[in-house]
C-alpha cells in the first residue's frame, strides 16, 4: 500500500505533544492522513495540531491520560466524532519513572509505570481494534525501545513495560494475521527527546552514542503504516529499518 493511499485515513497518536509523537503526526499528515493527537499537556498538543493543519490535513488535539481506561474510551469516541473512524494507531505515550534501584522502588510507582507504558497501550489498541476489524483495515505501531538485553539500569519498570509491548506486538501479529490489521513495533534507539535528556541527567547514560532527530523514527513509522508487514519488531538501526527507509 503506497503512502499516498493514506489520504482520508484517520490516525490517532498518543504522546504526541513533542518528540517522536509530534514528528510522527507530521509524517503521517504529509502522507495524507488526518491526525488526532493525544497527550496530557494541552499546550503542546495544540502546537502539534497546528503543525498538522499547516500540512492541509484535519487535526484534533485531545487531552488524555492513557493510564485511565475510561479516559481512553472517551478520547477514542471523541476523535471518531471529530474526524471519523480511526484507521491508524501509534502507541507512543510512555514514562520513564520510577527510576532507582529495584530493591527500593515503590511497588505502586512501578506498577503505575507499567500501567501507562504497557496496559495503556493495550487500552488504546482494544478501543480501536474492533472497528478496524469490522472495516477490514487497520495499522497499529507500538514505539518501544531497542535497549540492551540487560535493560536500562535503574529503569526496570520502563524496560519491562517496553519488552512486554514487544511481546504484545508479536502476539497480535499472529492473532490478527489475514484480517487486514497489522501490528508492528519500532525500536528507535536514542533519539533527541526530553525523556532521554532526563534519563541522562539522572543516570548519566543512554542507549547509543549518537542521538537521532525524532523525524527519523517518524519516517520509519510512516513507512510501516503504509506497508502490509505485521508482527515485526523493526530496529531503526538494523537491516529491516534501513531497508524500509530506503525503499
DSSP secondary structure, 180-247, as one string: TEEEEEEE--SBS-HHHHHHHHHHS--S-SSPBPTHHHHHHHHHHHTS---S-EEETTSHHHHHHHH-
Q: Which residues are catalytic?
A: 158
Reading phi first (left if > 0) and then psi (alpha if -120 to 50, else beta), residue 59 is in beta
β-bridge mates for residue 14, sequence order: 38
For 90, the enclosing helix (H) or strand (E) is: strand 88-91
Q: From CA 128, how far away is CA 122, in angstroms rounded? A: 10
Provide the CB-side half-sphere exposure for 116 (13 A, CA).
21
Amino acid at each position: 500500500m503506497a503512502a499516498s493511499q493514506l489520504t482520508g485515513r484517520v490516525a490517532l497518536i498518543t504522546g504526541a505533544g513533542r518528540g517522536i509523537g509530534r514528528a510522527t503526526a507530521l509524517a503521517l499528515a504529509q502522507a495524507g492522513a488526518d491526525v488526532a493527537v493525544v497527550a496530557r499537556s494541552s499546550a503542546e498538543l495544540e502546537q502539534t495540531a497546528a503543525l498538522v493543519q499547516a500540512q492541509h490535513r484535519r487535526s484534533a488535539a485531545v487531552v488524555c491520560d492513557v493510564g485511565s481506561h475510561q479516559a481512553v474510551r472517551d478520547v477514542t469516541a471523541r476523535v471518531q466524532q471529530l474526524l471519523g473512524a480511526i484507521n491508524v494507531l501509534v502507541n507512543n505515550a510512555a514514562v520513564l519513572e520510577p527510576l532507582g534501584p529495584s530493591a527500593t522502588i515503590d511497588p505502586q510507582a512501578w506498577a503505575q509505570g507499567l500501567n501507562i507504558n504497557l496496559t495503556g497501550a493495550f487500552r488504546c489498541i482494544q478501543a480501536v481494534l474492533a472497528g478496524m476489524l469490522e472495516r477490514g483495515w487497520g495499522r497499529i505501531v507500538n514505539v518501544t525501545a531497542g535497549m540492551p538485553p540487560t535493560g536500562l539500569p535503574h529503569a526496570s519498570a520502563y524496560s519491562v513495560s517496553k519488552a512486554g509491548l514487544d511481546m504484545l506486538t508479536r502476539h497480535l501479529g499472529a492473532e490478527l494475521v489475514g484480517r487486514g490489521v497489522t501490528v508492528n513495533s519500532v525500536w528507535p534507539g536514542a533519539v533527541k527527546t526530553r525523556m532521554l535528556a532526563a534519563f541522562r541527567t539522572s543516570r548519566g547514560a543512554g542507549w547509543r552514542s549518537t542521538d537521532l532527530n525524532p523525524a527519523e523514527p517518524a519516517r520509519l513509522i510512516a513507512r510501516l503504516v503504509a506497508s502490509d508487514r505485521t508482527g515485526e519488531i523493526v530496529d531503526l538501526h538494523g537491516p529491516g529499518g534501513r531497508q524500509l527507509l530506503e525503499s
